[in-house]
Structure 1
Amino acid sequence: MTPPPVPAMPEAHVDDALLDPSLYFNRELSQLDFNFRVLAQARDESVPLLERLRFLCISCTNLDEFFEIRAATVRHAQDFAVPVAADGMSPATLLRRIHDRAAELVDAQYRCWSAELRPALFDAGVRVLGRESWNARQTRWLRSYFREEIMPVLSPLGLDPAHPFPKILNKSLNIIVVLKGKDAFGRSGHLAVVRAPRSLPRIIQLPKKVSGGEYDFVFLSSVLSEFVAEMFPGMQVKGAYQFRVTRNSELIVDEEEVENLALALRDELVGRGYLRAMRLEIAANCPKPIVRTLLENFELPANAVYRIHGAVNLNRIIQIYDQVDRPDLKYPPFVPRQLPDVDAIFERVAAGDVLLHHPFDAFTPVLELIRQAADDPNVLAIKQTLYRTAKDSAIIEHLVQAARNGKDVTAVVELRARFDEEANLDFADRLQEAGVQVVYGVVGYKTHAKMLLVVRREGRKLRRYVHLGTGNYHTGTARAYTDLGLVTADPAIGSDVHLIFQQLSGLAPAIRLERLLQSPFTLHAGVLARIEREAAHARAGRPGRIIAKMNALNEPQVVRALYAASQAGVQIDLIVRGACTLRPGVPGVSENIRVRSIVGRFLEHSRVYWFGNDDDPELFCTSADWLERNLLRRVETGFPILDPAIATRIREEALDNYLADNLNAWELQPDGSYLKIEPGDDETPHSAQAALLAKICA
């Protein structure tokens, strides 16, 4: 099947009306709102109780990362007068809006915990006990635990001219203590800080013989607050208040100015935990003078403080999920569908393309492709991109074995994969020690493409086997994220992937690809051209149709092209999990565009673009969202699905199925709010993810 021709896409004239900032939502605020949809899962009584707890913790962790990355980026934009985005909001205004919206989210999170989940867990026999509810026996055990297990590793620091405020690690648990009296040296005490080392468990399980319950827990912060006076003998503790500071975690390495990127990145990682403070979480009852002291120390404005009614590290209760063996409170387990003939993966793929829809299809074929390639004497070379992978990844072991077996192995390792930098540095070292050629990608462009290439001798010819995916080579996320992967021996796709690897590892000039679209060269233009093609069909009286699924959307030219296509009559459905800056349903502009977000058991992560093309449809799977960074500042791939049966399956499973969801779907409204979709009186309830799970279990 030959892809239909696509018109060239020069920089088109932009209708000035489509530049109106009111037509664009702010990306950061849209990203914040995604967490309200995650939190809604925590409040949904149809979701198993411990899974609701997990969704609460995800919303908390997401908010941490938002401040570490997104809010930090806005603060940077304010400092350096970076031009505003398409929505026209200044950084100063945006920071105020972020504070107000984040405060609403924090309040909703703690109300969900204290008023809904904690009581429901208590009724189910999983008790998280506050200090006010400890009985005498529990208190004695916890005091002994504090003295024997906690106090020996603590180093409380009194604040005076000889002891300035200590460095506070990003997201660490701390207690600020108000003291009265004099210590053994006659020093008058006023304030002290107790830092909880990360070696200490944040959730402590009480022994059943002590507490009576099989699953009784307390927060470390509660234990510290209760017994903190024992660290200051002879002095009176007037108050103890837990706090936590969130810092900027975006590493900045001037790649063009360093001779060794890996070494420079290691140096940056050392100080990451102590970068600029972005947010202060403090106990709600902390006096204002203490709050002012903390804000001054961290050089934070007043709108960076969040008063917390509960544990400041609420996301740590996720530990309970793993410690409680209660299958009745979790999602039922499932066994992914296994590909037949996986033991002979080369023969299977040579016979025809293979589609993998994770987590419903097992990740095994990808692992087997690498494992069998490592041991197959006919395999000459293996090339792979690695953005994120598991800490104890079998993939790394297979690549090491392949190198030891004399294969030519190349790994393009992205050192700047956020929060995985240290892990990637470590396994890059291991690969190099085994003789793997490790490449760190292209200066200025993160390598986000998911590609695996195996070169195998078959008779007198060399044949290329390729895996291309929308998600990472990570066995853990393959069980928790929805993603699509294609395994193919198509010669043209194999040649394209080979050329991209040459480009990444060498200093190759711009390349012409036959099948694939590639960022930062042809993917952006290819998307714009295909949107315009649909608009041209509609203007000519033919059907115009676009369906696309992705994680986020903010690229202004793509948004404008979609607006113009809508004005031409193209019917557009977008399935956007997270941030979306496009405003749907605006009369005369976007009334033909619908945007929905799916939030369910699995994290929606697959990216699919489908263009109707007047009944000759074209479908791409890709590693790229429609974000500026993915389309313009990263190495990404978009790969066409050439097998009609596989294209039909993707259309049905990953697009139509999700457009029919009326249980886990939220529709974006013209005012920026999201409305939960409910099945009508004459509609059958439908969950896209549940339908796919039922399909593999049938």
Structure 2
Amino acid sequence: MGENVSMPDPATPQSQSPDPTAAQFYLNRELAALEFNFRVLSQAQDARIPLLERLRYLSIVANNLDEFFEVRVAVLKHHHSYGSAAPGPDGLSSAEILTRIRQRVLDLVSAQYATWHDDLGPALGAEDIHFLTHEQWSDRQRRWLRGYFENEVLPVLSPLGLDPVHPFPRILNKTLNIAVVLHGRDAFGHEGHMALVRAPRSLPRIIRLPDEVCGPGDHFVFLAELLQSFADLMFPGLDVAGSYQFRVTRNSELVVEEAEVDNLAHALSEELLGRGYARPVRLEIGNDCPQSIVSMLIANFELEETDVYRCDGPVNIIRAGSICNRLDRPALKFPRFTPRLPGGLDVESRMFDVLRQRDVLLHHPYESFGAVVDLLRQAAQDPEVLAIKQTLYRADSDTPLVDLLVEASRNGKDVTVVIELRARFNEEANIRLAMRLQEAGVQVVYGVVGYKTHAKMMLIVRREDGHLRRYVHLSTGNYHQANSRLYTDIGLMSANPEIGEDIHKVFQQLSGLGPRLQLKRLLHSPFTLYTSVVAKIERETANARAGKPARIVAKLNALNEAHVVEALYRASEAGVEIDLIVRGACTLRPGLPGLSERIRVRSIIGRFLEHSRVYWFANDGNAEVYCASADWMERNLLRRIEVAFPILDPVLAQRVYDETLANYLADNTHAWLLDANGRYARAAPGDALAHDAQQTLLDKLCP
């Protein structure tokens, strides 16, 4: 599961310490991102996890793999085709990376379907949950399914026979399709040959059979199984010699030259129309499909044999996870919990009164996102509030925040919302959101040309005793209420004047294209965040060389910025103790003799998606802690609008350290430890007491 590396010779004199910029000391970012999915798949295989949640993890792997091909593989293939990409810090060419990706994806797909057949299938069956294949249908079930097919499916299908006047149709990204081989002559005397059936998006991909047909339990059939089994009903008078499901994945990376368009929203809308039919990058096909059909599909999609992935089961296995929300089986799901209100707040709290007295920390999902909603609701209805400014990167369609922004505008507040139209796979929803807000009189801006606005900020301006006071909410996560129950994130609500002034300046820059800012408290990408992170690492390095205690702890989603990795290597060489909690891709190799012996990297995969970013620096006994929207990635540090905000209250700072850092460093049940070769091994309690970081927080904050 890793990459081989030439280890430094332990006998090398210290004066000849390893070069921290050498390619051999960097893992490849795409391969590191792919490895994350093996850790997620292990959750689907873990008998300690409730069964339906294990099925959900299997679906998550399939979804992640889709996005991996739509974006990362698509970009790599583009660069490879045009020879436009120089090797990264790891020194690998795009051709080498694509070759390694294929092998690892083959391993992952094989493990995925083995988990489906050998592990989850029998376990679901033991709980009377069945995914039935056509070989398993009873006569009664077959009759019902045939009737369902004739009445609910067949009327909306448009089977297409392939011939000179019916060329190969356009196949939409990630849709289910069936290739059908036919024998015989049709009504016009034409010889049957080949046909395609595209499953309309209006049809459910999983069909539940009624209890009166199957008896007790829950019985499901994939739509693909119906389309294959009743293909003869679509082609009366012809013999069906074979039917084979397939699915094509296309490049979903939108390319809009912002500097060359007059209206970004309009340009993106036009680009989105073609996304579903962009260049193919992967073909998934059933294991039983003959090579002649595969070759025909490859030719039509202009792919290579190496782009084909055979599936030992449904090509759209991602759909299996949809039953998790449909089934009322609480014993097979994670126990429910109720997030508490943070920091002594209650439903009667007047948020402005509280924030004038103290900062409030929110640790989601253990503490309720409702506190943020309450703050905005009170602002929208308070006659003393003059202005509200907010960024929206991803927001769920039914979030009350949007309604409150509309209400605030109608109540006469000056409301400005920065919407990131280019938030990947949220572009269409964000365009609709922008239009709705504009219709309500909200001033909507789209940020800065060339830089995605990824910062999570809310600013409220209120008149108090003849003066203006600013209140802010900052977060490591999106203003997405559903995700606040699934992702771990840190939020801060504050009336600190310096932080408020900093946020005011950032919003001015976003809406008014202002000059480079001098901020007092915030670290701001693409200006000061990168240089500040490197400088703080170098400060720890200098402290270690001076014989002072020196330590760095960071919790991130990903780490791949080469100069940050280099700075961490030099810090380790100098004696700095470094602990990194990196959920996903990490290109740093820990534990290399003479280079990264003092660096430890772990990944936590649990019930909740780890999403908070926290940076902690010992600073010679005057510890600093920042929470951020930014990972230590090139795009976050150099090509996005990001903010990292300090936790200034010592009590809250200690709480952030204890809950998000020390707690996770103690995890020995859901932690994966990275070695120098890029391999992950699951931590085990051994003789120690088992410690589950997420469950510890549930017990502490949601008793």
Pick from 317, 320, 323 the counterpart of residue 317 of structure 1.
Answer: 320
Pick from 178, 182, 189 the counterpart of residue 192 of structure 2.
Answer: 189
Q: Displacement of 1:511 after TM fit?
A: 0.9
Instruction: Name the CA distance, whole Å, in 1 between partners of 2:308 and 2:217.
Output: 37
Instruction: Name the CA distance, whole Å, in 1 between partners of 2:114 and 2:393.
Output: 37
Asked if 1:427 corresponds to 2:429, the answer is: no
Pick from 489, 492, 505 the counterpart of residue 498 of structure 2.
Answer: 492
Instruction: Name the CA distance, whole Å, in 1 between partners of 2:410 and 2:18.
Output: 60
TM-score, structure 2 length as denominator?
0.96
C-alpha distance after superposition, 1:605-659 (max 9, x if no partner): 0000000011110110000000000000000000011000000000000000000
Match runs of 1:168-183 below 5 Å = 168-183=171-186
Pick from 92, 105, 122 the counterpart of residue 102 of structure 1.
Answer: 105
Match runs of 1:417-496 below 5 Å = 417-496=423-502
TM-score, structure 1 length as denominator?
0.97
Q: Displacement of 1:301 after TM fit?
A: 1.0
Q: Displacement of 1:139 after TM fit?
A: 0.1
Instruction: Name the CA distance, whole Å, in 1 between partners of 2:360 and 2:429.
Output: 31
Instruction: Name the CA distance, whole Å, in 2 between partners of 1:421 and 1:623.
Output: 19
Asked if 1:245 corresponds to 2:245, the answer is: no
Q: Displacement of 1:73 after TM fit?
A: 1.4
Match runs of 1:559-578 below 5 Å = 559-578=565-584
Q: Displacement of 1:502 after TM fit?
A: 0.1
Match runs of 1:666-681 below 5 Å = 666-681=672-687
Aligned partners of 2:457 and 2:472 also within 8 Å: yes
1:585 paired residue number: 591
Aligned partners of 1:448 and 1:636 also within 8 Å: yes
Asked if 1:617 corresponds to 2:620, the answer is: no
Asked if 1:23 corresponds to 2:25, the answer is: yes
The one-letter code of the counterpart of 2:675 is: Q
Match runs of 1:494-513 below 5 Å = 494-513=500-519
1:358 paired residue number: 364
**Range with greater deviation from structure 2 (15-24 or 596-605):** 15-24
Secondary structure of 1:614's counterpart equals helix
Aligned partners of 1:496 and 1:514 also within 8 Å: yes
Pick from 413, 438, 448 the counterpart of residue 419 of structure 2.
Answer: 413
Asked if 1:283 corresponds to 2:286, the answer is: yes
1:52 paired residue number: 54
Secondary structure of 1:19's counterpart equals coil
Q: Displacement of 1:450 after TM fit?
A: 0.2
Instruction: Name the CA distance, whole Å, in 2 between partners of 1:596 and 1:620.
Output: 20
Instruction: Name the CA distance, whole Å, in 2 between partners of 1:142 and 1:675.
Output: 45
Secondary structure of 1:403's counterpart equals helix
Secondary structure of 1:107's counterpart equals helix
Instruction: Name the CA distance, whole Å, in 2 between partners of 1:113 and 1:284.
Output: 15
Secondary structure of 2:573's counterpart equals helix
The one-letter code of the counterpart of 1:30 is: A
C-alpha distance after superposition, 1:323-356 (max 9, x if no partner): 1111000001000011324531111111100000
C-alpha distance after superposition, 1:387-418 (max 9, x if no partner): 00011111110000000000000000000000
**Range with greater deviation from structure 2 (593-602 or 126-135):** 126-135
2:144 paired residue number: 141
2:700 paired residue number: 695
1:232 paired residue number: 235
**Range with greater deviation from structure 2 (57-66 or 71-80):** 71-80
C-alpha distance after superposition, 1:139-192 (max 9, x if no partner): 000000000000011001011111110000000000000111111011112110
C-alpha distance after superposition, 1:417-449 (max 9, x if no partner): 001111100010000000000000000000000
4+ residue runs over 4 A deviation: none
Secondary structure of 2:621's counterpart equals coil
1:389 paired residue number: 395
1:664 paired residue number: 670
The one-letter code of the counterpart of 1:436 is: V
Secondary structure of 2:276's counterpart equals helix
Asked if 1:632 corresponds to 2:638, the answer is: yes
Q: Displacement of 1:75 after TM fit?
A: 1.0
Aligned partners of 2:391 and 2:458 also within 8 Å: yes
Instruction: Name the CA distance, whole Å, in 1 between partners of 2:346 and 2:305.
Output: 62
Aligned partners of 2:556 and 2:632 also within 8 Å: yes
Aligned partners of 2:18 and 2:595 also within 8 Å: no
Secondary structure of 2:230's counterpart equals helix
The one-letter code of the counterpart of 1:566 is: S
Secondary structure of 2:462's counterpart equals strand
Secondary structure of 1:411's counterpart equals strand
Instruction: Name the CA distance, whole Å, in 1 between partners of 2:156 and 2:336.
Output: 39
Q: Displacement of 1:214 after TM fit?
A: 3.3
2:93 paired residue number: 90
Asked if 1:218 corresponds to 2:221, the answer is: yes
1:6 paired residue number: none
1:64 paired residue number: 66
Q: Which structure 1 residue ranges, 5 or more long, are not aligned?
A: 1-14
The one-letter code of the counterpart of 1:345 is: M
Pick from 598, 605, 608 the counterpart of residue 604 of structure 2.
Answer: 598
Instruction: Name the CA distance, whole Å, in 1 between partners of 2:167 and 2:173.
Output: 18
Secondary structure of 1:122's counterpart equals helix
Instruction: Name the CA distance, whole Å, in 1 between partners of 2:255 and 2:446.
Output: 16
What is the identity percentage for the equivalent residue pairs of Structure 1 and Structure 2?
61
Aligned partners of 2:18 and 2:594 also within 8 Å: no
**Range with greater deviation from structure 2 (145-154 or 77-86):** 77-86
Instruction: Name the CA distance, whole Å, in 1 between partners of 2:230 and 2:180.
Output: 12
2:38 paired residue number: 36
Aligned partners of 1:69 and 1:250 also within 8 Å: yes
Asked if 1:401 corresponds to 2:401, the answer is: no
The one-letter code of the counterpart of 1:564 is: R
Secondary structure of 1:22's counterpart equals helix
Instruction: Name the CA distance, whole Å, in 1 between partners of 2:303 and 2:172.
Output: 16
The one-letter code of the counterpart of 2:666 is: A
Q: Displacement of 1:213 after TM fit?
A: 2.9
Aligned partners of 2:182 and 2:240 also within 8 Å: yes
2:562 paired residue number: 556
Q: Displacement of 1:16 after TM fit?
A: 8.2
The one-letter code of the counterpart of 2:176 is: L
C-alpha distance after superposition, 1:43-96 (max 9, x if no partner): 100000001001111011101110001111111221232111100111011111
Asked if 1:268 corresponds to 2:271, the answer is: yes
Q: Which structure 2 residue ranges, 5 or more long, are not aligned?
A: 1-16
Aligned partners of 1:341 and 1:348 also within 8 Å: no
The one-letter code of the counterpart of 1:25 is: L
Secondary structure of 1:435's counterpart equals coil
Instruction: Name the CA distance, whole Å, in 1 between partners of 2:583 and 2:602.
Output: 8
Instruction: Name the CA distance, whole Å, in 1 between partners of 2:99 and 2:285.
Output: 19
Match runs of 1:90-169 below 5 Å = 90-169=93-172
Aligned partners of 1:467 and 1:486 also within 8 Å: yes
Aligned partners of 1:207 and 1:214 also within 8 Å: no
Q: Displacement of 1:697 after TM fit?
A: 3.3
C-alpha distance after superposition, 1:72-124 (max 9, x if no partner): 11112212321111001110111111111011000101000110101110110
C-alpha distance after superposition, 1:572-611 (max 9, x if no partner): 0000000000011000110100000000000000000000
The one-letter code of the counterpart of 1:674 is: Y
